[in-house]
Chains A and B, each alone.
Chain A
Amino acid sequence: MVEREPSLIARVALGALGIGLFVAAWFAVAASVDPLRLPPPTDVAEVVFPILFESRPLANQLGSGDGGILPHLLASLGRLLAGSAIGVAAGLAVGLLMSYSRRIGWLLDLPTRLLRAVPPLGVIPFVLVWFGTSSTAQILLVALFVFLLVVVNTTNAVQNLRPVYARFARTMGASRLRTYRDVVLPGILPSLVGGLRAALAFAWGLLVVAELVGGRYGIGRVLSLLVPLLRTPELIACILWIVVVAVALDALLLAVQARLLRWHHA
């Protein structure tokens, strides 16, 4: 009639064909360029699991241990989570305050706009100058980025909340503060968690770049060591692991979202 959906078998087959075409194209390009630039997928597959626990080039560069990337990956993930936690807590507090009190909202309106207009990567040099190559620098970078996003998300979400809920609560005798706890907070949760997924996805890349530019430890630092050595298979394997972390994190947030928001439409 209007649109026939392919059968389940056809859908799976098409998806497999798509991935197959991608891998085939990779093989084809790899065969025609310098293998230092693009090795075939098989070379990457060989190192993708071993690299978690040992890597000679990294051990040489860092002068210690087996040089596996797993500790680096976990260290970076820890910074991402710590920074995000700070950013969410502070952002939510400031955002709610800005919508609770009109005057505070006006006061902080332009400064937050100004900071948000700055491209997020432009903040990297600041944290490097102030906090050097330490973990603090990376965590604060993530925290600031997440903070600004959560502030804007919160104030927008409160504004978009249908006023009838809050009014109804007030007619039932709830105080203004109580209304915020019982009505506003749960009401803005859907858009807040949605915004957080996008924020975390970008913050993960932001953190990797910050570590790449000036970090002593972490997955970004690993990347910056591998590039000059032209270790392409290891580099691609690292990036794959970065993607895996991103996908896992997103899936986790999606599950949290579904659990928290059973009452909400998809």
Chain B
Amino acid sequence: MTTGRVSRLAWMLAGVVLFFAAWELAAVYIDSVNPRADRIFPHWSSILTDSVRELEAFVPFGDTATGYGAALDVLLEHSLVTMRRVFLGTFAGIAVGVLAGLAMAYSRVVFHLLNPILNLVRTAPLLALIPLFVLWFSGREVGIVLFVAFAVFVMMFVATYHAAQNVPRAQRWFALTMGAKKLEMFRSVVVPGMIPELFGQIRIVFALAWSFALGAEFTGAQKGLGFLMIQSERFGFLGRVIVVVLLFTIYAVVVDTILMALRRRTLRWAPVDG
């Protein structure tokens, strides 16, 4: 290890320490001026203890469990609900979006048929459609999953079309001059050639899928991590919000790490980064 790397590591560590210390200092200061400080700007020590335990408030009626065990049960239950929504919605959205994008890249007729609609939808803020899904499905499970799926679908539709277009013309033409028919060329050149870019898009889409699910859960769900967050916010318990946000962030990072590992395994031929 060179001194350069040591000092780099030291500076990076200092950054993290500074970040958490700044929060703690702010908490100490706000404590001294605001009587509700432990709620709206809690110390790290109380976030990791009291705030976690307080989530016992969400145990279902009739269940008398209390303490950390009950709180962890609550987190687990709501996590599973949210994950199911995220994964079901994302997988469905990716599948349909990739197929639609491929169809659009394959045929100029399909392209011109869908292009005007796609141009409108791609710039539309997808999150603004949440109220419509709430109204249609009255906050039922299927509505949340469908919203996530729809949002992911739109993003993957656009991304797949572009990834297919970005496969170099020389490679597509080369296949044709080797005797490949259009469909063979598409299957053997465009589909493998677009996968690296598609992988990058899938990472982005997965990261956003957590936000799409949160948005839907904020506005009409009776369960899920978004529901826990918005209920805690209503009563001004920021510590509980932070616990859930941290959990959320961990999930998103874990999924992203798995996707990266998957990419490394399946795309050994691709140049690093891309």
A243 within 8 A of B: yes
Given A37-B135, A208-B128, is A110 in contact with B218 using a C-beta cutoff of 8 Å? no
Q: Specify which chain A residues have a CB less than 8 angstroms from the CB of B113 in the assembled complex.
A: 14-15, 17-18, 21
Nearest opposing residue in chain B for A223, CB measure: B131
Pairwise interchain contact B12-A122, C-beta atoms closer than 8 A = no
Give bound CA distance, A240 to B195, whole Å. 34
Which size class do B's interface residues fall under? 35 or more
A30 within 8 A of B: no
> Secondary structure of the B side of the interface?
helix
Pairwise interchain contact B238-A119, C-beta atoms closer than 8 A = no
Give bound CA distance, A15 to B16, whole Å. 53
Pairwise interchain contact A224-B112, C-beta atoms closer than 8 A = no
Give bound CA distance, A94 to B192, whole Å. 39
Q: Specify which chain B residues have a CB less than 8 angstroms from the CB of A150 in the assembled complex.
A: none
A227 within 8 A of B: yes
Given A15-B113, A119-B249, A223-B131, is A4 in contact with B16 using a C-beta cutoff of 8 Å? no
Pairwise interchain contact B238-A114, C-beta atoms closer than 8 A = no
Pairwise interchain contact A37-B120, C-beta atoms closer than 8 A = no
Give bound CA distance, A11 to B107, whole Å. 12
Pairwise interchain contact B249-A227, C-beta atoms closer than 8 A = no
Most chain-A Cβ atoms within 10 A of its Cβ — which of B16, B128, B245, B252? B128
B124 within 8 A of A: yes
B51 to chain A, nearest CB (A): 13
Contact with A along B237-261 (1 / 0, CB 8 A): 0100100010011001100000000
From B58-66, B93-101, B208-216, the one touching the partner chain is B208-216
Nearest opposing residue in chain B for A129, CB measure: B238
Give bound CA distance, A103 to B40, whole Å. 33
A1 to chain B, nearest CB (A): 9
Given A125-B232, A205-B127, is A106 in contact with B241 using a C-beta cutoff of 8 Å? no
From A45-53, A163-171, A229-237, the one touching the partner chain is A229-237
Pairwise interchain contact A213-B211, C-beta atoms closer than 8 A = no
B108 within 8 A of A: yes
Pairwise interchain contact A212-B109, C-beta atoms closer than 8 A = no
Pairwise interchain contact B215-A121, C-beta atoms closer than 8 A = yes
Pairwise interchain contact A2-B8, C-beta atoms closer than 8 A = no
Pairwise interchain contact B8-A106, C-beta atoms closer than 8 A = yes
A106 to chain B, nearest CB (A): 4
Pairwise interchain contact B214-A107, C-beta atoms closer than 8 A = no
A19 within 8 A of B: yes
The A210-261 residues at the B interface (CB cut-off 8 A) are 212-214, 223-224, 226-227, 230, 232, 235-236, 239, 242-243, 246-247, 250
B103 within 8 A of A: no
Given A6-B108, A10-B112, A118-B248, is A213 in contact with B218 using a C-beta cutoff of 8 Å? yes
Pairwise interchain contact A5-B108, C-beta atoms closer than 8 A = yes
Give bound CA distance, A2 to B116, whole Å. 25
B215 to chain A, nearest CB (A): 5
Give bound CA distance, A5 to B12, whole Å. 54
Pairwise interchain contact A121-B211, C-beta atoms closer than 8 A = yes
Pairwise interchain contact B112-A125, C-beta atoms closer than 8 A = no
Give bound CA distance, A13 to B114, whole Å. 12
Most chain-B Cβ atoms within 10 A of its Cβ — which of A5, A38, A246? A246
Give bound CA distance, A22 to B214, whole Å. 29
Q: Specify which chain A residues have a CB less than 8 angstroms from the CB of B114 in the assembled complex.
A: 18
Pairs across A and B, CB under 8 Å, 14 listed: A4-B108, A37-B135, A106-B11, A107-B11, A119-B211, A119-B214, A121-B215, A122-B249, A125-B229, A129-B233, A129-B236, A202-B208, A213-B218, A239-B129
Q: Which 9 A-B pairs have the closest CB atoms?
A: A205-B125, A205-B127, A106-B11, A125-B233, A14-B112, A107-B15, A121-B214, A111-B19, A18-B113
A interface residue numbers (CB < 8 A to B): 2-6, 10-11, 14-15, 17-19, 21-22, 37-38, 103, 106-111, 114, 117-122, 124-126, 128-130, 201-202, 204-206, 208-209, 212-214, 223-224, 226-227, 230, 232, 235-236, 239, 242-243, 246-247, 250
